[in-house]
Amino acid sequence: MRLVFMGTPDFSVPVLEALVGAGHEVAEVYCQPPRPAGRGKKDRPTPVHARALELGLEVRHPVSLKTAEAQADFAALNADVAVVVAYGLILPQPVLDAPRHGCLNIHASLLPRWRGAAPIHRAIMAGDAETGICIMQMEAGLDTGPVLLREATPIGAQETTGQLHDRLSAMGARLIVEALEGLGTLTPQPQPDEGVTYAAKIDKAEAAIDWARPAAEIDRQIRGLSPFPGAWTLIGGERVKCLASTLAEGQGSPGTALDDALCVACGDGAVRITRLQRAGRAAQDAAEALRGMDVPKGTKLGE
């Protein structure tokens, strides 16, 4: 099948690889433009851009698809279908209509729950028991189109957004190949009106840990914001990112270390920080980090 692939971040790369591996003809890859990154602030291609070049594919990175020229260029590709996954630009109606079978989106939630930009983060932060992948026929609304395929997966009790991200990326790659094989035989299922929620983009202001909140909420915040942007607290006046945690036994004044191994009292219960990152350093397991950072019992975090 002749297709256009539209994606940008790491999440999209396994999907592109799966489509190529399944023998589809990728007529063009669309992604976000290179942006300044690193210490030198030189333009760096996005993960999809870099991988597409390695695969010998043609790449376009328009800043908008709203112009008549961009839409004509897209239509001229004469694609059977477009596969869209975390692309980052809104697709105008002429783009949605151009491929013979329209545009299929890979969305990392069980629609209509968590439409929008950050479904993986939000599912963990909300304490959802499960999430999944939907292959959706795109339309003008935000993640409102009918669903061709869906598959659910449980969210682990200690799973982070980074870990779930990788699992869902692989699941999406597998399901889109199945969807393309069944295109024309699958029955699109309209999304129900009940159960709609929106996964707003993560604001860095959400990352500061308030130890007065219940332990279950703080644990979900830590896991849901790991690895980016990373929930943070002050330890000895130093800003430290908390990247993994588990619920723990104990009570005490919120923010107080209950032992010498980063078990911290919350407003209700306690959490144990199991992985962290100090400013300017690589992420470390807590046991390793504590060899170079003194956090004895009674230390007050967040001050």
Q: What is the pLDDT of residue 37?
A: 79
User: How many residues would you count in the chain?
Assistant: 303
Where would I find the H helices in the chain? 13-21, 47-54, 68-75, 93-97, 119-125, 161-181, 215-224, 286-289
Cβ 271 vs Cβ 218: under 8 Å: yes
Q: What is the pLDDT of residue 167?
A: 98
How far from 255 is each of 39, 221, 266, 279, CA to CA, in Å? 35, 15, 6, 20
Identity of the residue numbered 241? K
Q: What is the pLDDT of residue 101?
A: 97
Per-residue model confidence as pLDDT tens for the chain (303 residues):
999 999 999 999 999 999 999 999 999 999 999 988 777 778 899 999 999 999 999 999 999 999 999 999 999 999 999 999 999 999 999 999 999 999 999 999 999 999 999 999 999 999 999 999 999 999 999 999 999 999 999 999 999 999 999 999 999 999 999 999 999 899 999 999 999 999 999 999 999 999 999 999 999 999 999 999 999 999 999 999 999 999 999 999 999 999 999 999 999 999 999 999 999 999 999 999 999 999 999 999 998
User: CA 260, CA 277: separation in Å to the nearest integer?
Assistant: 18
Q: What is the pLDDT of residue 36?
A: 86
Q: What is the pLDDT of residue 184?
A: 86
**Whole-structure pTM value:** 0.95
| 223: CB partners within 8 A, 6+ apart | 124, 158, 159, 160, 161, 244, 245
